[in-house]
Amino acid sequence: MDLKKIAVTATATAAFAGIGATSAFAQDCFVVKRSDQGATSVGNSKSWISITVADIVGVSGQCATDVNAALTAARLPTVLATMANKTLLEGTAADANGKTADAKGVDHFEESPVVGEIFGVVSGVLSTDSACA
């Protein structure tokens, strides 16, 4: 792997590692099976914030289009929404029993396997796509 690809992959890693620390994801939970349209729509409310994966990793133009296409092909979201005012299921039996990391309902970013899958797809695009150079 050349230095450019390493730098791109490192950027994606840092973006996803810091996802829970960003102000947009201060509440650190999201609805896993929500459609991109649904995630975008709820972002217009006072209770939810939505952001695109392309914005999280800081890409635009053709690179963002290619990232979105790869995520869509992998049946993963291109838009994520999180509560603006609370963490869903925090302190509940679902939280205690690992249901916030099962990729079925509400997941917490730092525990969700979906975030790892998104990272894998995005890293692949960023490290191989000339539009992301």
pLDDT one-digit tens code per residue, 6-32: 444 444 555 555 544 444 444 577 878
What beta strand segments (E) does 1-133 contain? 29-31, 48-52, 79-83, 106-108
Longest dimension (CA), the chain: 46
pLDDT band at 125; cut points 50, 70, 90 = very high
pLDDT band at 53; cut points 50, 70, 90 = very high
Domain that holds residue 86: 3-132
Closest CA to 36 of 87, 103, 70, 81: 81
Q: What is the pLDDT of residue 48?
A: 83
Bigger pLDDT: 87 vs 9 = 87
Say how many domains are in the chain.
1
Q: What is the pLDDT of residue 7?
A: 46
Q: What is the pLDDT of residue 3?
A: 42
